[in-house]
Structure 1
Amino acid sequence: MSENAFRQNCGSEALIDYYGPSLPFLFLDPAEICQLNGIYLPLRKYDALFRGNYLASHVSCRLRQEAASHRPRFTDLGAIFSLPLELILEIFEHLHPIDLYNLTRSSKSIRALLLAANCAPVWKAVFQRHPDVSASPPGVSLPKWVSMLFGPSTCDKCGHPEAMIDFAFLKRLCNSCRDVHGVRQPRFRSYLNVNNKSVYEEDFRDLVRVSYRYDAMVYPSARGYHGPQLYFREEVEERERQIRRFMAAIDANEPKAAQKYQEFKTETAVFVSESMKCARTCDAQCGMIYHGIQQRQSELTQQWKRQLMSLGHNHDDITRSQEDIHLTLLELRITRLTKKTFKRSWPAIQRALAPVTGKRLVRERRIRMEQRRLRVKALYQAYQRSLDPTDWQYVPDVGRIYGIRTIFTWISSELEDDLLVEAMRDDVPLYVERYGAYGRRQLSRIFAEQHPLLDLDKDPLQVAAAVFECPLHLPINDKSVRCTALIGLEDASLHFDCVVPKNSDLKAEDFDPEIKFAYSLAGFKTMEHLLGLLGLDPYTTLANDLETLDARFLCMVPDCRQFSGSDKGRFAMTLKECVSHAARYLDHPPQSFEPLSEEATESVIWQEAACSLSHFSKFCWSCKHCAEHFVCPVPRDDAITHVKESHSVADPVENTDFFYTRWKNNQQRTPYYLPLDPPMTYRCSQCFEAGNPRLWDLERLKAHLHDK
């Protein structure tokens, strides 16, 4: 950034004068700082085919192809220079401009000969014989023009190797130098205003050449001439000085100063117009060559794709790695597909294909494994359907079936279905049996440790005294679900998945001390106390019979944490919910639970029946005679209707013709709260005789009787 530009952007002369001496790089451009510190940008930005002067490479390649078709060919050209000078110059007239350029670089004597004034007709004749080469712009000699066209693509300012000639400025500028020595379109007006406000006129742009290139190696297309514009800083400053002198002469009233100024603008505008016309022609020619190289490389990539497919490579792999193959061919400068180039580039092509092929194989393996898992799942569901419907909820999840050694081997391999059928017939029933035996043996061991002297005629895991806790669903850690204490074998069987090891070779005798059920002493004491209030014994009462007890209890602990902040009262709990509550809150003794009166219990049960069940509790009924409801259990009424219509059972019986499907931690009903200090309530005698035991307060009872 120049000092004047910085002063304009900053807007405070005092600030600049104060901080300027302490900032040594204040007025330096990034490129100048890099140059002072020896920091150079990467030399190679483009692929190998575009790094040099691709215009000269294209012309030379075309001339070599034309020369190869000419016969005979003379390899000893030294005899030509023994001829008279007139004949030598006449021979030179038949050469291409790039040949003359190469001759000027061959030796000093030939260079002096070709650059002499008497060789000007030779240069004109050469350009006339090759109209495909663009004519030189105004003010540029033909030898200099040839050097611009076919010379090395090195920056005129810093020597960077990637800088094609800019036909607007007739300079080779790399991307860094374009920013340093150019003025962008948005800064053009401000730049002129900073230097001399009187210089800027509406037609000043017609007096300077403009470049539409966005890169040092790429030329604009027809659409590119509507993009960002770049002006050459030195030319802008030179025009500024020239116009300033004309303005000074006009202000001094010098003779014909205004006329000379108008002639200057006219001549300069014509020069700029002709230069830009030539620049557009050359830009179009170089742009076609650039895109032609890209097109040939794309065609070469397509040839490689066809060659790879003929060798048996996967079409999707080749398509996904097409860009990598293209870049590999560019890096190796491969322009043709021959046996030699194939052998040279084959290792690099294989490296480009390897990651894509590996990802495809992984993806195909994952899809194949998923398809095989679905196959195993379908067969496992067919096996489950063959079991007693009441056992569906206690068999292991299908994820454990995937882990059986033989089935896992089949899923992970490409073996035939015979192995799967054999494994499903032999290994799955054996694993299901071991799965249940492991959980039952662990429960029996834990119960025997707590009651070593107990001798029951019944299965000890079926009685109400068998109160357990799941290690992954401890009541003390789970505050969101009420029924988390596991009472009896059926409740605990739903949590076998939490304690049974993932090892498919497990045995019932194995025991993992880290993950196991725990016996709930607090739950057992509460169970013993509440059953005692009902006149029952926990060692003789079956766990399944607890669901049929029409008894409700309240926790009378002051400020019970389960009901904190609730103004509805206390939750009327079943016996199983009281056991879970005691296991969750260990500071609540068994004596803190009080049973409701017979009238209050009947009213609560009626209120609970009137409340809607949760979705999971409503759709939990299945037929016990068939597998109709294996996938989707239905409401109780639908299950009864199915048994009547499909199995011709006139009066279906629960647990005989249809049954309730248990779920882990299932919230079966909507909580019903009783106030601790209820007002006086009444019962409608007419409704009670009809089987409605609801209790009313006095005002609602009056309205109810009025409706009657």
Structure 2
Amino acid sequence: MSLLVWNVCDSETNPLPFTVSESDSDDLLESFGSSRNLSTINYVTVETWKSLRIPQTKSKSIAPDLSRLPSMHLDIVLEILGHLHPLMLVQVSRASQSFRHLLRSPITDSTWRKSLLVDAQLPCCPPQISGRRWTKLLFGRHICDDCGLPGTSPDYTICRRVCASCMDPKYVREFNLMVHKTLHAGPKSSDAEDNDSDIASPYETLDCHMVSHAVHRFFESRMAVALENRHRAEQCEAWASTVIRESRPEYWVKLKKVTVGVMNRLIAEGFDSDDVYEIQYSLRDCDVLWRKPRLTSKLWHQARPYILPQLLTMQTQRLEYQRNWRIRTRKQAILAAVILTLSTPVTGLPHCYHPPPRVIEVFPPIAQLMSEESDEPISREDPALIAALADGAQFLDAWCMEMQMLLVSVLPAATAKRPDIRLLDRATSVFQVQKPGDLATFWTAFGWDEVRTYLHWCSKQPPSYLGSHEMVTFEAGGAATVAAIAELLGLDPDTTTAAQLDAVDARFMCKTCLGVRRQALPWRECVLHDVEKSGTLTALHSVPSWTILSHLATADVRQREEPADYSSIANWACMLCHHHFRRPGTQLHDQMQNHIRDYHGIEHPAEGQHLISFVGTEHLQRRRHVTLVVGGEHPMRYRCNRCAEDQPEVVKFFSLRGIRLHLIYNHFVESPGEEDWTEDDLILT
């Protein structure tokens, strides 16, 4: 807002910054009339008039007789009119020509000023402007005082409504009336910035040179006037904002009612309800619907040109999104069908393996099928999909061979000239596969059969994700543990395979871990134990040190071990459909079984045939380890001979105190002796 102020030295001859006399503005009272241009409506006037008229319309009292008012003395009439609200004075001026001429005469200025004091919330009229002009500034239509441009807001600092085009020439011509660079405020438009230095120079001179006290007093007085103008402008703007804000809840309720009517009409005309509900918030920005109590046919036809373009745009966006969604769903269905077709269960493990989606997408028949911009749904029985998968087995074999070559190259015993993929069958071929989303954790896998189950998650990695990107690395510490275990069993570490160690099915105990109770682990768990412990701060497990359990102790551990439970891990998928393949393997075992029973009618689903497990990002649940009490005062190394005779396949060890109580209470032996039990060393070497 500009900082134009009137000349305080000659306020009588120049009362306003824009010199306009009262006789030049015959439309002061006419500016309160109605207009079809919505931008000229002063809603502050509308709300103020409502607050004045609604209480009167609800009142049941008889309106007073004002017929004697014209016959009264002028001073009495002016005194009576001074107690009316300014908007009431405007209505009185429209009653007759006599009242019109009276209220336009200069003698009624005090009457207009007194009327502004009726409402304590109204901003006070400044002394440099007439009460009638101040009333017009507060309640008049939003049109420029000079050119009549609609939509011109009042400028309470200069006490006029002036548009930018009318402001600029007067802004420059009357620069001597401005206080520039003493208060921060911008011009009405950028055109006045060209004369910035000319306007500022007189005031900069006052700051830089010695001048008289009179000039300084003049400068200070102009500063005081500018501050007073700005303070009054802030009060006026706060008053106008308060009037509008207090009326807003009422109009929001009406707008919501009108908006619901518009939405119902659009749905009745056949538009999609989703599109209509999407634009319900943008309907609030439609000026045609604002401040309307209800939706009439006339209002509907007025608002229709504003609403239909938004609705058609939303309809186009929805149709485009739905088509893109159908295309993505089709591609996901193709990818899911390929994964289900190429998935192969791993022997001895509950999960399967398949090529990464990145590899599947570059398979030429599948790539051609997925490149089609068709949004038609596709099923696993589609002829085009069946034809594309005709060479799927050969493609899978080629991919497996490529991965095996890359894995062999990671092994330290491999040669670059003639890589031998048989090295992957060795038990010492231990790898670490990086987990997705966590660069610091790895899966530990043994040989090709286990590593390939973890490769499918590398769907967005470059082709060379083996070796160079360190996503699959050789685990030297795990290989050393396998070699130590093979030597305990009397096998050659360089030729022993994982299948041979599985066939022996021995149990081992860590020598490095101290304590009375120790875990009895199979050979794979021994490797995981050393790998996990080697990452700690202590270096106790840097060199593998293991001992093998006796045959009886091994039998005891085997029968107490619980099988690994994968049912609580969300990594299961249906082999009969691609319903769950947006995110493969995200269902629990029980959920997938219920799906197969409900949708496919199979009462007893079989793993590997009807449902299959995919390795997910969760850490696979390992079975609970069995512990043996091998030390302390009461080591559990005694087996009951009577139980061994009755049930030789059951092996159970007791402590010395426990075996005696067992014989007394279970076999009714009065004096148990050494001939009633057998002591086992538990540990062979």
**TM-score normalised by length of structure 1:** 0.46
Q: Please state which structure has a larger fraction of its residues in helix.
A: 1
TM-score normalized with structure 2 length: 0.47
